[in-house]
Amino acid sequence: MTVTEDRVEASGHSASDRQVGKSRKRKEDQRLLTGRTMWTDNHTLPGMLHMAILRSPVAHAKISSVDVSAARERPGVVAAFSGRDFADEQGVIPCAWPVTPDMVNPGHPSIAVDQVNHVGEAVAIVLARTKAAAQDALEAIEIDYDGLPVILDMEEAVKDDTHLVHSHTESNSSFRWVFDAGEAGTGTSTDEAFSNAEVTVSRRYIQQRLIPAFLEPRSSVADFQGDAVTLWSATQIPHILRLMIALSLGIPEHKVRVIAPDVGGGFGGKLQVTPEEFLVILASRRLGKPVKYTETRSESLLSAHHGRDQIQYVDIAAKRDGTVTGLKVRLLVDMGAYLRRDSEGIEKDLQRVFELFPRLEEREKQKAGTMSGGEQQMLAIGRALMAQPRLLLLDEPSMGIAPVLVERIYETIAEINDQGTTILLVEQNANFALDVSKRGYVLEVGKVALSNDSESLRHDPEVQKAYLGA
Amino acid sequence: MTQINLTVDGIKESAEVEPRVLLVHYLRENLGKVGTVVGCDTSNCGACTVHLNGESVKSCSVLAVQADGCEVTTIEGLSQNGKLHPMQQAFHDKHGLQCGFCTPGMIMAAVDLLKENPNPTEHEIREGIEGNLCRCTGYQNIVSAIQQAAGQSTGGAA
């Protein structure tokens, strides 16, 4: 976003004072022009280690053996790991965008454990005092691959009797998504347009894969301290990244801080949650040191996200004068080796929220701002539950809500508690609060006036008189 | 290790470096001159451009030992007494940058271009910065900025 220097004046000025259409100077230029920019790669922390990644030179293979021990002997090298060292804790990289409910997702590890599925996939990492030492040590890693079949043609890849990229899936096809403008009401019937067409034209096009080519290579610095992590990353999506790290690595969301400093272009290539971001976090947690990784341009071209290549079948219905009356497009899209969707995690959490609040599933497509107060309260609790909290803090969930919904919300709060989440509730409706809670504290002008188990408080004459309307 | 002595942005520096160390890595990692950035590893992008004895070079394609005895100017040494260099000012005035990653190299290349050819045509400017890649601007405003710095009228502000 570009921030401009001058404030737009209130209306009531002469024509020469008009602000619309006037050019403005950018506010952020000073540091960009003088070399004072905070790119992620500029960050250095005390004791920081540099990470280098060994990447697969082959597209499809079993990793038959991997030995990083010689890399550990190189000067300046603090540690070296293969995928097997992180197999139990790395989780899967989530894809926050399940396109269809039945989308086939093979699951994406940050670092390959037994099998590689694309050229450039991470297979081992080295952590060293300098970037050069880390990169030098990569050559000492011994790794053997047993080649698996490779299919180079997208149409071959989705045939029934072909080799599978991932042996645990049933097909190389991930999902099929259909949009019919006639049915959606954004256009008229395509079939009708084709049956009435004066001319029809059919073509097959091949669209190449695209590389976003942001000028700043991707870079991340992770600093794991205690049970919390701070991640600086050249990302376009710091908030999503934070949530996805929490979900995938099982770190509570409030223990994850993501900072996106100045970012040198993204062009859609920094809109994803990436293996490298997970790897710096895993390495920092394992070694108790800050860890930085900055890719080379060659690594970026090999392993950063690309725009998908497509085979396009296009049919056009038209009149003789050139007016287009109908369009059918069938796209075959190369989704790559992985989807990066946390199928087990996100889906499970979402199902749990929908089971607790069936009303939210009914309102799935509705904008939150147009929901009733009670529904918004359900949504707020549901959102909090997506982060799998051990403790849920609720501030007056009954405030301004229809009594029938208050009852529903309190039933659900009790259910969430039964499922093992601790709940701290601040509530002026003492009846409900004491009903669902195990222990209560009565606050008066900022001081704890009474505290006891909820059952005793409920029968306390003072409480009954003052709060329960007895 | 090889001993080198050089001046960087007016400061005398002395260091022992491995012969293979690139000038850009020496600047960034030894001196903390992180204003100069690395955009590629093939000397394509020009983001690391600095002046070596007044001439623009891609500092990823110069070894630190080659800069021994030389005077290096980076983007950080361009503005004097808190005042932007006319080229920096022109990039600001003409909106010659967006994300800013190519900007240090682009400005250093442009300053050298005008030193060689104080009054270039638009075509000469485009040829002069062909070694520097920008992904955001489409180059038009960069060309306008260089024209402004050359004292040429470029019509309205960008």
Q: Which residues of B81-97 are buried (b: 16+ CB within 10 A; e: fewer)?
A: eeebbbbbbbbbbbbbb
Is B84 part of the contact surface with chain A (CB cutoff 8 Å)?
A: yes
Cβ distance B37 to A213 less than 8 Å, yes or no, reads: no
Q: Can you say how many angstroms the Cα of residue A452 is from the centroid of all Cα atoms in its chain?
A: 43
Assigned domain for A450 exists: no
- For residue A57, is pLDDT > 60? yes
- For residue A133, is pLDDT > 80? yes
- For residue A7, is pLDDT > 70? no
Which structure tokens are listed for B20? 């293979």
Domain stop point among A336, A355, A372: A336
pLDDT in tens, A301-354: 999 988 899 999 999 999 999 999 999 999 999 999 988 644 455 666 777 788
User: How far is the C-alpha of A340 from the C-alpha of A121, rounded, in Å?
Assistant: 13
**CB proximity list for A22: less than 8 A, separation 6 or greater:** none
Domain stop point among A320, A336, A352: A336
Q: How many helices (H) and strands (E) does chain B have?
A: 5, 5
**CB proximity list for A354: less than 8 A, separation 6 or greater:** A360, A361
Residue B157's pLDDT is 47
- For residue A467, is pLDDT > 90? no
User: Where residue A78 falls among pLDDT bands split at 50, 70, 90?
Assistant: very high
For tokens 């090889």, what's the residue? B2
Cβ distance A264 to B78 less than 8 Å, yes or no, reads: no
For tokens 């701070």, what's the residue? A230
Residue type, A432: F
Is A262 part of the contact surface with chain B (CB cutoff 8 Å)?
A: yes
Residue A12's pLDDT is 53
A291 with A418, same domain? no
A347 with A304, same domain? no
Tell me the count of A-B CB pairs closer than 8 A: 103
Cβ distance B45 to A215 less than 8 Å, yes or no, reads: yes
For residue B38, the chain A residue with the least C-alpha distance is A216
Which structure tokens are listed for B31? 């001196």
Which structure tokens are listed for B3? 């001993």
A285 with A413, same domain? no
User: How far is the C-alpha of B38 from the C-alpha of B36, rounded, in Å?
Assistant: 7
Which structure tokens are listed for A255? 């223990």
Assigned domain for A467 exists: no
**Which one is predicted more confidently, A382 or A35?**
A35
Q: Decide the pairing of beta strands B49-52 and B55-58.
A: antiparallel
Is A27 part of the contact surface with chain B (CB cutoff 8 Å)?
A: no
Cβ distance B157 to A42 less than 8 Å, yes or no, reads: no
A220 with A355, same domain? no
Choose the mutation target among B17, B42, B85, B99 for the interface with A, i.e. most A CBs under 10 Å.
B99
User: What is the overall mean pLDDT for chain A?
Assistant: 89
Which structure tokens are listed for A70? 């010689």
Cβ distance A32 to B102 less than 8 Å, yes or no, reads: no
Assigned domain for A68 exists: no
pLDDT in tens, A412-450: 888 888 888 888 888 888 888 888 888 988 888 878 888
CA dihedral (A315, A317, A320, A321) in degrees, to 10, reads -100
A404 with A356, same domain? yes
CATH 1.10.150.120 given to domain B86-149: yes
Element (H, E) at A34: helix A29-34
User: How far is the C-alpha of A48 from the C-alpha of A323, rounded, in Å?
Assistant: 63
Assigned domain for A209 exists: yes
| Residue A384 exposure: Cα atoms within 13 Å on the Cβ side | 19
Which structure tokens are listed for A323? 């007016």
Element (H, E) at B73: strand B71-73
Residue A345's pLDDT is 56
For A264, other C-beta atoms within 10 Å of its C-beta total: 28
Assigned domain for A408 exists: yes
A198 with A324, same domain? yes
Domain boundaries, chain B: 2-76, 86-149
Question: What does the H/E/C string look like for A369-387?
Answer: HHCCHHHHHHHHHHHHHHC
User: How far is the C-alpha of A260 from the C-alpha of A301, rounded, in Å?
Assistant: 22
Cβ distance A35 to B38 less than 8 Å, yes or no, reads: no
A248 with A193, same domain? yes
- For residue A468, is pLDDT > 80? no
Q: Can you say how many angstroms the Cα of residue A380 is from the centroid of all Cα atoms in its chain?
A: 19
Is A130 part of the contact surface with chain B (CB cutoff 8 Å)?
A: yes
Q: Cβ(B108)–Cβ(B102) under 8 Å?
A: no
- ∠ CA B37-B38-B39, nearest 5°, is 115
pLDDT in tens, A254-275: 999 999 999 999 998 998 899 9
Residue A36's pLDDT is 95
Q: Model-level pTM?
A: 0.77
> B49 to chain A nearest CA, in Å?
12
A257 with A404, same domain? no
Q: Cβ(A116)–Cβ(A110) under 8 Å?
A: no
A297 contact residues in B (CB cutoff 8 A): 39-42, 44-45
Assigned domain for A241 exists: yes
**CB proximity list for B142: less than 8 A, separation 6 or greater:** B91, B94, B96, B97, B106, B110, B129, B134
3-state helix, strand, coil in chain A (%, to 5): 30, 25, 45
B78 contact residues in A (CB cutoff 8 A): 34
Q: Cβ(A360)–Cβ(A378) under 8 Å?
A: yes
Q: What CATH code is carried by the domain that includes residue A414?
A: 3.40.50.300
Question: Phi-psi bin for B81: left (phi > 0), alpha (psi -120 to 50), beta?
Answer: left
Assigned domain for A374 exists: yes
Cβ distance B100 to A36 less than 8 Å, yes or no, reads: no
A347 with A329, same domain? no
For residue A262, the chain B residue with the least C-alpha distance is B99
Of A400, A398, A408, A432, the C-alpha closest to A359 is A408
Facing A265 at nearest CB: one of B21, B34, B135: B135
**CB proximity list for A137: less than 8 A, separation 6 or greater:** A52, A71, A74, A77, A80, A126, A128
H helix runs in A120-199, sequence order: 131-137, 154-157, 181-184, 190-195
Assigned domain for A279 exists: yes
A292 with A391, same domain? no
A376 with A275, same domain? no
Cβ distance A37 to B92 less than 8 Å, yes or no, reads: no
B157 contact residues in A (CB cutoff 8 A): 23
Q: Please state the domain count of chain A.
A: 2
A161 with A212, same domain? yes
Q: Which residues of A393-416 are buried (b: 16+ CB within 10 A; e: fewer)?
A: ebeebbeebeeebbebbbebbeeb
Enumerate the β-bridge partners of residue A443. A448
Is A75 part of the contact surface with chain B (CB cutoff 8 Å)?
A: no
- For residue B158, is pLDDT > 50? no
A265 contact residues in B (CB cutoff 8 A): 98-99, 101, 135-136
For tokens 């500029």, what's the residue? A42
Q: Which overall architecture, per CATH, does domain B2-76 show?
A: Roll (3.10)
Please state the ipTM of this predicted complex. 0.95
Residue A5's pLDDT is 54
Total residues found in chain A within this entry:
470
Residue A357's pLDDT is 83
Print the domain residue range for A175.
38-62+89-123+144-336
Return residues 89-118 of B near A (CB < 8 Å). 91-93, 95, 97-104, 107
Of A105, A128, A123, the C-alpha closest to A113 is A123
